[in-house]
A and B are shown apart, each in its own frame.
Chain A
Amino acid sequence: AQKVTQAQTEISVVEKEDVTLDCVYETRDTTYYLFWYKQPPSGELVFLIRRNSFDEQNEISGRYSWNFQKSTSSFNFTITASQVVDSAVYFCALSETQGGSEKLVFGKGTKLTVNP
């Protein structure tokens, strides 16, 4: 069965610190997608990134970067020079492309607090 583990329940940092959110997944499928979503205090889930299982290139978008390592089944998310507005709950998720449904399996989330 698919499983996503976000071992860090809560992280607290001071503004301008770098922070890495860990995500480890389990799947028996060879084709799958990995995602990160942000849920700010307003509650809406905001899409950040989607990565195909065949594409292990790291990705950088502004202060955000993602490190996908298939060998360790990890898809970690780093925020560089964190800001107060980055405070949110971050969810890692996994979907499979076989079996019909594209349902997402989410980790429990990591609550990030960035203090001024």
Chain B
Amino acid sequence: GAGVSQSPSNKVTEKGKDVELRCDPISGHTALYWYRQSLGQGLEFLIYFQGNSAPDKSGLPSDRFSAERTGGSVSTLTIQRTQQEDSAVYLCASSLIFGTQYFGPGTRLLVL
């Protein structure tokens, strides 16, 4: 079956602009995660969605970051007023509850 898909693959934006990153999880997976991978910080957890439960936002680095998951499927990560330190690869993963997380190919974000 299809894996996790993310779009766009690459995004170049100017400092101060807003960006939206999209994630389509594996069909039937109830849990969805966003992570960020940067040279300095490695792989960091950002946010977790599980079914209709309140999301775990404990990893979001600032209030410029937000995410939503509509209809229990597709998720969008939004970064407002982007800064150069936001440049990173943003990875999405999905899983069954308490299951193994499978990752998408990531969105490479470059803030100029």
Q: Contact residues of A with B, CB < 8 Å?
A: 35, 37, 42-47, 50, 91, 93, 97, 100-109
Contact = CB atoms under 8 A, between A and B. Distances in A.
A82 B23 CA distance: 34
Contact of A103 (B45, B91, B104, B105): B45
Nearest to A37: B103
B42 A103 contact: no
Contacts of B104: 44
Per DSSP, are chain B's interface residues mostly helix, strand or loop, or mixed?
Answer: strand
Interface residues of B, number: 24
Given A43-B89, A47-B100, A106 B106 contact: no
A107 B105 CA distance: 19
A100 B56 contact: yes
Interface string B90-109: 01010100101111111000
